Every structure is written in structure tokens, then in C-alpha cells.
Amino acid sequence: PPVLSLSGVSKTYGPTTALADVSFSLAPGEVVALVGPSGAGKSTVFRCVTRLVDPDNGSVSVLGRDLAGLGGRALREARRDIGLIFQQFNLIGRMSALDNVLAGRMGHVATWRVVARMFPAADRQLALACLDRVGLLDKAYQRADSLSGGQQQRVAIARVLAQRSRVLLADEPVSSLDPKAADTVLGVLRTVARENGIAVLCSLHQVDLARRFADRVVALRGGRVVLEAPAGALTPTA
Ligand code: ADP
Ligand code: ADP
């Protein structure tokens, strides 16, 4: 069964069609690249999945639950299944890598508990294990803002692992990185997705990165899916 599924999703903003009858789904451990020019609807897909906006038509389900019916506590729980990473890494710079990962484990509202070091030792062990899985165990006690961009984005991936999310939405995760760091981050993303059965939906500007790192590519244009194909079927171009 799919982990994330969009079915006939449409969304308009006044006269603008942001999404028109968009359907696709992600299996556990699968990395799907969402590509398309600016304005194609990529961010609107992410907003519909996190329910920052509600689709006009169609439905979005996470782990078989239709998000439309959820509110309050059930919606908060569903959102916990969805990990987010962004172009700007959204770490707390003055906190250590480890504490940033712990903050994901404890939930954002409980960051003060991390600051006050009020968390079970088991959580600390889990957070260290997550940093190990992204290759950053040796950076655990460094301030987040002292790390390279690629390292910061790997801390953000570790934070999602600690949260035990089943779906990871990555909104232009490598747009601010140099090519070598971008390759490292996408390689780590793919490895942890496969190892942990996390479905990753990742928007990318460069089709070449999608071809090399994704399992499947969904291309949007004018809010419509214009191509859905195995990444290996794309021809290598820059
Ligand atoms: P992308 O992320 O691919 O650049 P978006 O999902 O941001 O595309 O936008 C899709 C379309 O919807 C664009 O034409 C954009 O201008 C429009 N749009 C997005 N958000 C809004 C909004 N809040 N109000 C009006 N139009 C919007
Ligand atoms: P950065 O400049 O972002 O630190 P590096 O190339 O120096 O980039 O990072 C290399 C580290 O990243 C290695 O120690 C390794 O543990 C980790 N790493 C690289 N690729 C992967 C991958 N596909 N899966 C897991 N860890 C990886």
C-alpha cells in the first residue's frame, strides 16, 4: 500500500490553476523527484500534503488516512508522520547538531526541554544513532551554524529520522549547495529512505539530479502531471 497518495487533486487561486487533477503515489522506501519550471505547482503539492492548504477537489492520504477528515489531535499525529526539510536548513544555529536532532524527536513545542536537557537518555542514544546514519557522529557536539551547508542538511535528515516520520517532503533540499555537497546529501537521503522504508518526495530544479538520485520522476507543468517515469528512463542532460 502507498505511504503517500494524491488522487485527483486540484487547487485554484482565483483565476490561477495551481494544480489540476494531480494523481501519484509513493511506496515505502521510494524516492520520487518532483520537477517542473517555476510556477508549475510543486510547492502547492507540498502545501496540500501538509494541509497548509486544502485541495478544491481530490484527496491526499498518508498511510491510508485521508487528511481531509482530520482535525486537532489526529491532524497533529498525522503531521508527525511527515518529516520536512527545506532549502534553508531550518536548524537552530546556536544549538549543537545533537540537540537539533533531539528537538525533532521531542517535537518542536518541546525544544525548551532540549535546552533544559530534560529528555530521557534513550532519546539521546537514538539521536546519536540518527547522526551516525547520516555520517555525522563526529559532529554531534558542534554548533549547527559551524557546519557546512551539506552537513547542516544531513543534520536535518537525521532530525526527520529521529522523529520516525514515514514520509519525507524535501522542498528544494540542495538548491543552496555546491554540486559535490548536493550529491552527498541526495545520496544520504536515498540511503536512509531505502534503509528505513521512508517515502521521499523531493522537488529538484535539475533534471540531472532527479535522473541520478530518484527512483521515479513526476514532472509538473501548469499544474498538470506531464510526465511520470522511472528515473532511469530519462536521458542524461544537464
Ligand atoms: P512552484 O512551486 O512549482 O514554483 P507553486 O505551487 O508555488 O509553483 O505555484 C503554482 C501556481 O499557483 C503559480 O501560478 C503561482 O503563481 C500560483 N500561486 C501559488 N500560491 C499562490 C497564492 N497564495 N495566491 C495566488 N496564487 C498562488
Ligand atoms: P560534506 O562536505 O557535506 O561533509 P563529505 O563528502 O565530506 O560532504 O561527506 C562524506 C561523509 O558523508 C562520509 O563520512 C559518509 O559517512 C557520509 N555519506 C556520504 N554518502 C553517503 C551515503 N550515500 N549514505 C550514507 N552516508 C553517506
Model pLDDT for residues 194-231, shown as the tens digit of each residue: 999 999 999 998 999 999 999 999 999 999 999 999 99
Average pLDDT over residues 39-64: 94
pLDDT tens digits for range 136-187: 999 999 999 999 999 999 999 999 999 999 999 999 999 999 999 999 999 9
Between the CA of 18 and the centroid of ligand 1 the distance, in Å, is 6
Residues, the chain: 238
Residue 238 has pLDDT above 90, yes or no: no
**CB of 13 closer than 6 A to ligand 1?**
yes
Helix (H) or strand (E) holding 119: none
CA distance 160 to 19: 27
Cell of 106: 521531542
* Ligand 1 mutation target, pool 6, 12, 13, 221, most atoms within 8 A of CB: 13
Q: Does the pLDDT value for residue 55 go beyond 60?
A: yes
Question: 150 CB less than 6 Å from ligand 2?
Answer: yes
Mean of the per-residue pLDDT values for the chain?
Answer: 92
Ligand closest to Cα of 195 equals 2
Overall average pLDDT of the 82-102 stretch: 93
- Sequence-separated (6 or more) residues with CB below 8 Å from residue 113: 106, 119
Question: For residue 131, which phi and psi values (nearest 5 degrees)?
Answer: -65, -35
Ligand nearest to the CA of 13: 1
- Pairwise CA distance, residues 182 & 179, whole Å: 5
User: Averaging pLDDT over each range in 50-54, 176-180, 234-238, which range is the top one?
Assistant: 176-180
Whether the CB of 188 sits within 6 Å of ligand 2: yes
What distance in Å separates the CA atoms of residue 183 and residue 177, rounded to the nearest whole number? 9
Quote the pTM value. 0.86
Helix (H) or strand (E) holding 127: helix 121-133
Four-residue CA torsion sign, 105, 170, 142, 94: negative
pLDDT of 15 reads 95
Q: Count the alpha carbons within 13 Å of 105 in the hemisphere toward its beta carbon.
A: 25
For residue 109, report the distance from its CA to the centre of ligand 1, in Å: 29
* ipTM of the prediction greater than 0.90, yes or no: no
- Measuring CA to CA, which residue among 160, 98, 107 is closest to residue 131? 98
For position 232, what pLDDT does the model report? 86
Ligand nearest to the CA of 187: 2
CA atoms within a 13 Å half-sphere pointing along the CA-CB vector of 113: 16
